Amino acid sequence: MSATELQEKRGRLVAQAREALDAITGNTDEARSAELEARHDAIMADYDKVEKLIEREQKMAEVEARFNARQEEERARKRPGREDGEARGQDDGNKKEYREVFYKFLSTGADLGELDAEERSVLKAGVQSAKEFRMQTTGTNTAGGYTVPVELANFIVKSMKDWGPLYDENVCTVLTTSSGNVINIPTVDDTGVTAEPHTEGAALTDDGGKDATFGQKQLGAYVYDTEFVKFSMELAQDSIFNMESLLGSLLGERLGRIANNKLTVGTGSNQPNGVVTASSLGKTAAGAAVLASDEVIDLLHSVNAAYRRSPKARWMFSDLTLAAIRKLKDGDGNYLWQLGNIQTGAPGTLLGYRYEINDDVPQISAGAKPIIFGDFSKYFVRKVGSPVIGVLRERFWPDLGIAGLIRFDGELGDTAAVKHLVMASA
């Protein structure tokens, strides 16, 4: 059945379905109403089938049109008077090519509204040149050539590396600001001061010995960038992937990795004060390369119980350190590490507290600090806006460049809140 006949049949079915519904009035008895409704449903089922057939015919017609256009182009290229596949002394009216239109489409930020009717038609028709269906024979594979073969799965294998939890507001206290002005955080430690016995009738001491002592921590806004990654116009046009999105995703992960690294082990000098660096000593291990279960327990209790009651009290260590901890047992032969409950969503715990895997925390080695524990709500992470990924089109024209920027800082407001275990020196 031709497309025209199918469309005519579709029109008849619509009319018949409407007729069946209109026949149901307030005076129609129940049996007749049920009959008419069944007829309407049967007609609409036929209508759906015809719709699918029409859609299939339209797609087939589009495929045939593209195929015929390619065949005609091949025949035209092989006619006498052609050189290198082009006619000499002829003008095709400056017909726009797919490459040209596709690049314009990318350069406008993928906005179809910036294209005229002819350009949209060329883009919709797809690649018309046989050159677009070539086997890859040139280019540097590791620079993007792997993405331009004749047949390519529309996914790409990316090497992944977990970059850690310290940019997560569920772990730390996160302050997000629109500008990078310095933030002053006042502190006070009055835990060592107590009251004194009072003698009846005696004057209260007024020598300033019990005055509160305040301090201050600061959060700045350190900037890190990914440097520019340039990619060619040809790669942007030929790749099956949207290279801007793919590279933007990769650069975003780079920013995540540098943020977690500096918030973990940053020195505090012209960079964030990492939580490991800022933490105070809780326990010194007896060995340089081996942990003992008692040492982990001692680290836990080196942190005051007031901090341990915090919802954000937890452990933090690398995945390899977790492997070592999972082998530790207490004096009764019970494992310190407890597997979580997958069914209830309960996480794994160590001595009753949650833990975070952070591979930027140092590994177990002589003099290293492989484990920290405490109240992470006292570690402040300052974010200035959101990480930014930018694409420059004019500077590298006709090629493109993409880069990312991130501004942040980190500081431990109370050094008693988070403590570390340090391994013995070799």
The secondary structure of 359-426, three-state, reads CCCCCCCCCCCCEEEEEHHHEEEEEECCCEEEEECCCCCCCEEEEEEEEEEEEECCCCCEEEEECCCC
409: which 2 tokens? 């800082």
Mean pLDDT of 140-163: 55
Q: What is the pTM of this model?
A: 0.61
Q: Are 362 and 402 in contact (CB under 8 A)?
A: no
Q: What integer is the mean pLDDT of 29-57? A: 80
pLDDT, tens only, 44-96: 888 778 777 877 777 777 767 776 776 677 666 666 554 444 444 444 555 66
Please report how many Cα atoms fall inside a 13 Å half-sphere around the Cα of residue 71, on the Cβ side.
6
How far apart, in whole angstroms, are the C-alpha atoms of residue 279 and residue 379?
A: 10
Report the C-alpha gap between 95 and 114 in whole angstroms: 18
What 48-56 contacts at long range (C-beta under 8 Å, 24+ apart), as own/partner pairs, is 50/6, 50/9, 50/10, 50/13, 51/10, 53/1, 53/6, 54/3, 54/6, 54/7, 54/10
What is the average per-residue pLDDT within 221-237? Answer: 91
What does the alpha-carbon distance between residue 10 and residue 49 come to, in Å, rounded to a whole number? 10
Cβ burial 365-387 (10 Å sphere, 16+ → b, else e): eeebbbbbbbbbbbbbbbbbeeb
246-297 pLDDT, tens digit per residue, is 888 898 889 889 999 999 999 999 999 999 999 999 999 999 999 999 999 9
Q: Classify each residue of 150-161 as buried b or exposed e, where b means 16 or more C-beta atoms within 10 Å of its C-beta.
A: eeeeeeeeeeee
Mean per-residue pLDDT, 167-183: 90
- Output the average pLDDT for the chain: 81
Domain residue spans of the chain? 3-78, 173-189+216-422
Is 333 in a helix, a strand, or coil?
coil
Report the chain's C-alpha Rg in angstroms.
35
